[in-house]
Amino acid sequence: MPTLSVFVDVPMSYKLEGSLLKSYKQDDHPKKTFLAYRVCMSEDGQPWTSPVVTKLRKQIAQDPSLNYEYTPVMGTKSFIQASLELLFGKQSQAIVENRVGGVHTVGENGAFHLGARFLRTWHQTSRVVNIISFQKELYRLIFQDMGFTVNEYSLWDPKQMHIDSTIFINVTKQAPFGSVLVMGNIADCKLTQREWTKLMSIMKKKRIFPFFDIPSQGFSSGDLSDDSTILQFFVAQGFEFFCSQTLSKNFGIYDEGVGVLAVVALDNQHLLCTISQIMNFASVLWLNPPALGARLVTSVLCNPALKEEWKYSLKRVVENIMLIKEKVKEKLRLLGTPGSWDHITEQKGTHSYLGLNSQHVEYLVKKKHIYIPKNGRINFSSVNANNIDYIAQSISEAILFTVNPGVSSEVNDK
């Protein structure tokens, strides 16, 4: 009698990602184009890396004074301090009052995992998490894995074709007391100061716990402090919160997963207790976070000259993306494509919605070999001088040659 496998009941898992990329790779059409990369691409079609990082990689590898001992569970002090100062600003009330801290994590998923794990144990007022972000799926899986009930909302309004920041207020109004609110892409938010005040007032009354996501500080506006300025509002209003800070994207070290789970508390005592519990959770996850990414980031942030070089490289990326968006918009206009394309240039950052419906997306993928996600949110850094004409022409055709059912893909997705 053959032995039964221990794994006999284990099914093949649904794949999280990669099917679009797989189809792209298998496609042998000469004009095939992939616009769904997660990373920022440089003009030569390779993942972008800040030039200062390339230089530092060599220096670090040759530094005889470095010690390759295990990294402390929390991360090195200099890395945490530099990252928090970048996020909050050196003069931040929370830093001055010694009530902000952080734990080095393996990327943004690591930060969300640690945060969710902490909240499951120590924040039991509600098991509901509302996520408002462009990037929702992985965060949903993390919180669901921890037993939370998760609702997802997009900032993008596919009918009006604009970023609808009032969703923060609408979701918060209906959120249960003590629930968690994941606020992604806050640098792209267009709430007025008055609307922010209103939002914070509702959140305070309902004791809603904010969990921010800063995935690529500097990539929205080109200015580092502008992209995280909203955190200051919350600090000033006496909020306690978590913030996932990712440093892989804005340095171009995607392969090293450099993240921080930042914690703001009311005072130093509560901060230390919270950090100590998070370190416990980190111990059973990976114990010692990987060093290289943090070393690169720290070397840049702690050296004023290198930091300037890095900031300059960020600005160049953002300027280039704005230029590409302008060009795409202009080309669509010149081709007589119906509709206003202002929404392209109104959005910030590498990834933006084209404002296409599911028929348009299907047309582009199947007929034109242009691979874009179902929601039509593409990576504009993948558009370059070599492919811009083909892309604009194809989008124009997609609009003209497909029947518009009046329902956009973002709605269909739900």
Residues 128-187 that bind a second copy (CB under 8 A): 138, 141-142, 145
Query: Closest distance between a second copy and the C-beta of residue 59, in Å?
Result: 8
207 near a second copy (CB under 8 A): yes
The one segment of 7-15, 167-175, 334-342, 351-359 that binds a second copy by CB under 8 A:
7-15
194 near a second copy (CB under 8 A): no
373 near a second copy (CB under 8 A): no
**Minimal CA–CA distance to 262: which of 396, 131, 83, 118?**
83
58 near a second copy (CB under 8 A): yes
75 near a second copy (CB under 8 A): no
Answer for the pair 354, 329: CB distance below 8 angstroms, yes or no: no
Q: Which of 104, 113, 329, 348 binds a second copy (CB under 8 A)?
A: 113
- Residue whose CB is less far from a second copy, 110 or 158: 110
The one segment of 27-35, 45-53, 216-224, 302-310 that binds a second copy by CB under 8 A:
45-53
Residues 200, 49: Cα–Cα separation, whole Å: 37
CB-based contacts of 218: which residues, under 8 Å, 6+ apart? 224, 227, 250, 311, 314, 318
Rg (C-alpha) for the chain, rounded Å, is 22
The phi and psi torsions of 3 (rounded to 5 degrees) equal: -70, 145
Q: Which of 268, 276, 386, 404 binds a second copy (CB under 8 A)?
A: 276
- Residue whose CB is less far from a second copy, 134 or 209: 209
Residues 207, 200: Cα–Cα separation, whole Å: 10
Q: Which of 33, 35, 71, 86 binds a second copy (CB under 8 A)?
A: 71
Residues 9-38 that bind a second copy (CB under 8 A): 9-13, 15-16, 38
Answer for the pair 296, 76: CB distance below 8 angstroms, yes or no: no
Q: DSSP of 341-395, one letter per residue?
A: -HHHHHS-SSEEE----HHHHHHHHHHH-EE--TT-EEEGGG--TTTHHHHHHHH
- Residue whose CB is less far from a second copy, 292 or 322: 292
**Minimal CA–CA distance to 203: which of 163, 231, 171?**
171
91 near a second copy (CB under 8 A): no
SS3 (DSSP) at 286: coil
273 near a second copy (CB under 8 A): yes
Q: Which of 167, 191, 279, 411 binds a second copy (CB under 8 A)?
A: 279
Residues 298-337 that bind a second copy (CB under 8 A): none
- Residue whose CB is less far from a second copy, 12 or 305: 12
Angle at 118 between CA 116 and CA 120, to 5 degrees: 70
The one segment of 4-12, 155-163, 184-192, 325-333 that binds a second copy by CB under 8 A:
4-12
- Residue whose CB is less far from a second copy, 99 or 329: 99
Q: DSSP of 1-59, one letter per residue?
A: -PPPPTTTTPPPPPP-S-HHHHHHHH---TT-EE---SS-B-TTSSB---HHHHHHHHH
Residues 246-265 that bind a second copy (CB under 8 A): 252-257, 265
202 near a second copy (CB under 8 A): no
Q: Which of 23, 42, 49, 345 binds a second copy (CB under 8 A)?
A: 49
- Residue whose CB is less far from a second copy, 9 or 28: 9
Residues 321, 259: Cα–Cα separation, whole Å: 24
